[in-house]
Structure 1
Amino acid sequence: MTQSTEPAAIWLAQSAFDQLTAHLEDLKGPQRQAIVAEISAARDEGDLKENGGYHAAREAQGRLEGEIQQLEALLRQADTTEPADDGVVGLGKVVTFKFEGDDDDEAETRLIASIEMKDFAGGLEISSAASPIGAALLGAGVGDTVSYEGPNGRTLKVEVLKVTPFEG
């Protein structure tokens, strides 16, 4: 059996894709130019062996280039296709669920790719597909009950009540 070397697609909301693309352009343009200018100015100061400013600027350049490479790879893998309204939990979906034994409270979470977590501010709780609850919910449908291990080591069960595509 041949395994694919193609990386898996990562679902991103179009707004997140646009933000990451703009950030990448900033890194490749103004930020890269600023570091090149810092390196040049430090180089003009003379002896590079004893020049802390030069070495700091070169380290900053390495970090910047690494971030550029990571963002380029992420954006190559990105899938901004609107999620289907099929009632199945997947990335880009809003999931309403309740914990087993808790008849009163329903919870809602948006299942996303973890890169979006730091920028999302829409009032919904956010779960990464890589988190224990996210991984358990992935692929479940309305009416399904799934289990996962909670932070305290106990097995938790949740029932999926509703699944809709995220709009925003």
Structure 2
Amino acid sequence: MTAGTVWVPPSALASMIEELAQLATHPRPDASTVDRIRALRKTLRHSESEIKPDDGLVEPGMRVTAMLSGDTRATVFLLGERELASLDPGVDIDVYSPSSPVGRAIIGSYVGDTVTYATPSNPSVRIEILAAVPYAG
């Protein structure tokens, strides 16, 4: 994934392409339709939806299982853009943004790693990566 690229579930990407095709057929689109077309084109230009390799690397597009310090149960989430993942009705787990504090901290780590990150209320939150598998929907 290159800088500025966002990962989206394959079905969400298909939904955006379908919506763009429908909007593009309007013979005289109004201003809000034109704005939506522009937004979709921009998002599509910077999106990817390939299934990631199952190599234990934490990156957008992975279903991550992690243990936060102080928790007694593991947390499972999709690392991806929340608003784009919401386009896929099959996404039934929490979505953590790669730009969130936890997302920035864990990207590039591997299964078995423990990393520390800061939040506004806690300057030293530890998270252990238990699993990272490709999100397949």
TM-score (norm 2): 0.84
Residues 107-126 of structure 1 mapped to structure 2, 5 A cutoff: 107-121=75-89, 122-126=91-95
Q: 1:82 aligns with which of 46, 51, 65?
A: 51
1:113-167 CA deviation, whole Å, 9 max, x = no partner?
Answer: 3442333443211111111111111111111112222353543111101110011
CA RMSD, aligned part only? 2.2
1:7–1:69 Cα change, 3 Å? farther
Task: Give the unaligned 5+ runs of structure 2.
Answer: none
CA separation in 2, counterparts of 1:119 and 1:70?
Answer: 15
Q: How many aligned residue pairs are there?
A: 135
Conservation of the 8 A alpha-carbon contact between 2:82 and 2:95: no
1:82-130 alpha-carbon deviations (Å, 9 max, x no partner): 111110101110110001243x311111001344233344321111111
Q: TM-score, normalised by structure 1?
A: 0.70
> Structure 1 residues 123, 87: CA separation in 2 closer, same or farther (over 3 Å shift)?
same
SS in 2 for 1:119: coil
Identity of counterpart residues, as a percentage?
27
CA radius of gyration, larger in: 1
Structure 1 equivalent of residue 111 of structure 2? 142
1:151/1:124 Cα in 2 relative to 1: closer, same or farther (>3 Å)? farther
Is the alpha carbon distance of 1:7 and 1:166 closer, same or farther for their aligned partners in structure 2, counting shifts above 3 Å?
Answer: closer
1:27 corresponds to which of 23, 29, 41 = 23
Equivalent residue runs for 1:13-92 within 5 Å: 13-29=9-25, 32-33=26-27, 36=28, 61-92=30-61
Structure 1: gaps of 5 or more residues = 1-5, 38-60
CA distance, structure 2, for counterparts of residue 161 and residue 80 of structure 1: 24
Determine if the alignment matches structure 1 residue 11 to structure 2 residue 7.
yes
